[in-house]
Structure 1
């Protein structure tokens, strides 16, 4: 049976995503109010028979419809800029992970742990629980820790994206982009390359598993 979750955001997995969802609700409330008001004015104008042929100007009403949009835009801009700076803040990350896009798979480097590297390929359908989304080697991260995510590309432009974590970074050849990530809960978070990078663009999924720090240390020790 269909639910509202199918047309809504995925459950947030990071503080930034929570703020983006709050901002979305805030903006949608303003848009609904504006749309309803405009529809009301249009409908009443269609049935309004009042005509004033001597009306040349209205300083008061012109001032009002100039100031009100300024106030509305300010109400939208201030929280938007706040979230933008929160997404870019990089305050002493405890772990750095680098993702490298290839045609058509991802590779990951944990440079803080003696240069641990591995490739992540999409698994065939007969071995996959999620079609076109499961990989053979997941990117493991400790939850509730500040992580710096770096990304680049070895060939063409890719895009490293996990919607639940509010991350979408372009992977550009010859350039490194970075973002901050902090998983608030354990779980498996999936994404896909969001840049058309070639014939097999849809066959390079991203799977991140957030686990407890003690299990993460055990996973690192076994590599």
Structure 2
């Protein structure tokens, strides 16, 4: 009875979580009581969500099958109903089944997994190229084709504007056009960092001495936030990532504005994203 009581307690707690807040996060940033992934804004994230749901169906089916099997065994083969234990040593069909079926299940998981992995690293021709350089504890972004460069630093609590999310808002955000293939090159000036934007399905390490690449194609306009996802030191939790997806016209205007901005002696755009 104790085990059934524990199961009932767990189910009650999960039900309480579901009814007390949204089960899924919104787009671009986490939500209170979030249980699922953030809403997808790119084809890759949609594929990740589909693969996640597909694997969860398999997991639940296996768990329910094993639970039913355990209950059947406890009821059908307990000591009271079977005072004389069976001396069966093996069952060839059963042994073949519990060897072959797990292999088939793993193959069924591996095929869409490889398809997703291929899609993540099948880089399309870049419409926009960005280089993100990590430092303790901020990001430096460069648009080499446009000649734009700026630092992106978290906005402290006492300077947040209405609507800006705490620990996620930055002074200068990345701006990209909707529907464009954006290739991001990642570097680090010191230790290992990680550039992650959940709604884009992007998460890749920035490693010192190495240029890594990832890509995304945002299909919805709006603000999308992420954070450094590799423990990088004292201020690791204060190194957010903000991406603003705009129309092509807005992006062209932003590029034009920042191209004409004054450039300081370091070659850095001085008035980027005022």
TM-score, normalised on structure 2?
Answer: 0.79
**2:148 alignment partner in structure 1:** 116
Equivalent residue for 2:27? none
Kept in 2: contact 1:89–1:180 (CA 8 A): no
Distance 1:102 1:56 in 2: 63
Distance 2:134 2:229 in 1: 12
List per-residue Cα deviations over 1:31-72 (Å, max 9, x = no partner): 000000101111111122356644232111111111111111
Structure 2 counterparts to residues 153-172 of structure 1, below 5 A: 153-172=188-207
**Aligned equivalents of 1:216 and 1:186: distance in 2?**
11
1:96 and 1:110 in contact (8 A); partners too = yes
Could you give the per-residue CA deviations for residues 83-110 of structure 1, whole angstroms, max 9, x where no partner exists? 0000000121111101000111101000
Gaps of at least 5 residues in structure 2 are 1-19, 25-33, 259-274
Mark the runs of 5 or more structure 1 residues left unpaired by the alignment.
none
Aligned match of 2:29: none
SS of 1:174's partner is: coil
User: Alpha carbon RMSD of aligned pairs, Å?
Assistant: 1.2
In structure 1, the partner of 2:23 is 4
Give the aligned length: 222
**Structure 2 equivalent of residue 94 of structure 1:** 127
Q: 2: CA distance between counterparts of 1:139 and 1:39?
A: 49
* Bigger RCO of structures 1 and 2 (CA < 8 A, at least 6 apart): 1
Q: 2:255 and 2:214 mapped to 1: Cα distance? A: 22
SS of 2:76's partner is coil
In 2, Cα distance between equivalents of 1:53 and 1:162: 57
Give the counterpart of 2:179 among 132, 141, 144.
144
Listed one character per residue, the Cα deviations across residues 118-164 of structure 1 (whole Å, up to 9, x for unaligned) are 00011111322211110000000111011111111011111011011
Per-residue deviation, 1:198: 1.0
- 2-side partners of 1:199 and 1:54: how far apart? 62
Of Structure 1 and Structure 2, the greater strand share is in: 1
Larger Rg: 2
TM-score norm. by structure 1 comes to 0.96
Counterpart-to-counterpart distance in 2, 1:75 and 1:57: 28
Provide the residue aligned with 1:58 in structure 2: 91
Paired position in structure 2 for 1:18: 46
